[in-house]
Amino acid sequence: MGRLANRLFGGWRGDRRIWRRGLVLAALSFLVALVMLLHAQIPNVIGNLGSLTETFLPWLGLCVPVLVLFALARRSATALIAVLFPAIVWLNLFGGLLGDKAGTGGDLTVATHNVNADNPDPSGTARDVAASGADVVALEELTTSAVPVYEQALASTYKYHAVEGTVGLWSKYPLTGVKAVDIKLGWTRAMRATVTAPAGQVAVYVAHLPSVRVKMEAGFTARQRDKSADALGEAIAHEKLTRVVLLGDLNGTMNDRALNGVTSQMRSTQGAAGSGFGFSWPASFPMARIDQIMVKGIEPESSWTLPATSSDHLPVAARVNVATSS
């Protein structure tokens, strides 16, 4: 270690310019820190820039090692010290996700998967999700032609199921109170059902919020997604059961302010009981956690991503504790 330190910093001794060099790098470090620290203040007026930043906010942490390398190359003590600021801010925001918070308890396992309307192997995808051992499975982006395939593939594992529009729910336990949820789209992409699990009744919502687009002329376009998120949040707020689970592709991360109508009243199982960021999209190189399992009035015990299927999303699963919840 001493030899490495001498190689890196040995030539700095007696060089008074180490404090004057790297001022631009120092300024960049402060800028990165401010973006992370004040991301909620970045306006959405132009191209939904705030939401775009919040979607990929954890990746700003990659700026830290890059800035360190440039600071070493410039032999700048000022730049090296400045890099501490974004590093500290990032750890404050996301450091808690780095550890494994999974417990060993729980009495209900749930999973959700955007199966992709163009999935070339729906039967195989269904078998992969069923193999997870989940008691309740939500599927999104179902097509009319694929629904019978999923029904047949899942029939032996799940006795109860319901499909509303392009979303569906499969359960080992009875389903009642099944209904579509209006998320202001003009067609059905959300539903609600009561799952009567051994530990008690749980209101389960399944939702697939509209996709967002990044366009050169319009930026991050998400107006329809934002409107639907507000409608979903309102529906959950009026839920009569105290124990609620939300499963689905929300096309947004927990950091995205546009989902405040939902995230302000529910907890992410990944944030509370997961290990790492649990990125779920795209499956080939996951960069964001847009597939969510969220709970209200229920204690999450563990959360994880499942192996890739033929979809462009990864399935996600969680184990929760219903019996000890209020």
174-184 pLDDT, tens digit per residue, is 999 999 999 99
Beta bridge partners of 220: 214
State residue 286's pLDDT score.
Answer: 96
Under a CB-based contact definition with an 8 Å cutoff, are residues 210 and 185 in contact? yes
Name the burial class of residue 172, with classes exposed (0-12), middle (13-18) and buried (19+) by CB atoms within 10 angstroms of its CB: middle
| Residue partners of 64: CB distance under 8 A and separation at least 6 | 32, 83, 86, 87, 90
236-285 pLDDT, tens digit per residue, is 999 999 999 999 999 999 999 989 999 999 999 999 999 999 999 999 99
DSSP state of 156: T
State residue 5's pLDDT score.
Answer: 47
Q: Is the pLDDT of residue 16 over 80?
A: no
In CATH terms, is domain 108-321 a member of 3.60.10.10?
yes
Task: Give the Å distances, CA to CA, from 49 to 31, 219, 313.
Answer: 16, 7, 24
State residue 117's pLDDT score.
Answer: 97
Q: Is the pLDDT of residue 50 over 70?
A: yes
Arithmetic mean of pLDDT, 189-211: 97
CA distance 260 to 266: 10
115-137 pLDDT, tens digit per residue, is 999 999 999 999 999 999 999 99
Percent of the chain with pLDDT over 70: 91
30-43 pLDDT, tens digit per residue, is 999 999 999 999 98
| Residue partners of 325: CB distance under 8 A and separation at least 6 | 200, 242, 243, 297, 298, 299
Q: Is the pLDDT of residue 218 over 90?
A: no
Name the burial class of residue 171, with classes exposed (0-12), middle (13-18) and buried (19+) by CB atoms within 10 angstroms of its CB: buried
pTM of the predicted model as reported, rounded to 2 decimal places:
0.89
Name the burial class of residue 319, with classes exposed (0-12), middle (13-18) and buried (19+) by CB atoms within 10 angstroms of its CB: buried
State residue 14's pLDDT score.
Answer: 56
Q: Domain boundaries in the chain?
A: 2-97, 108-321
Task: Give the Å distances, CA to CA, from 171 to 58, 79, 94, 207.
Answer: 34, 56, 34, 16
Distance from chain centroid for Cα 164: 24
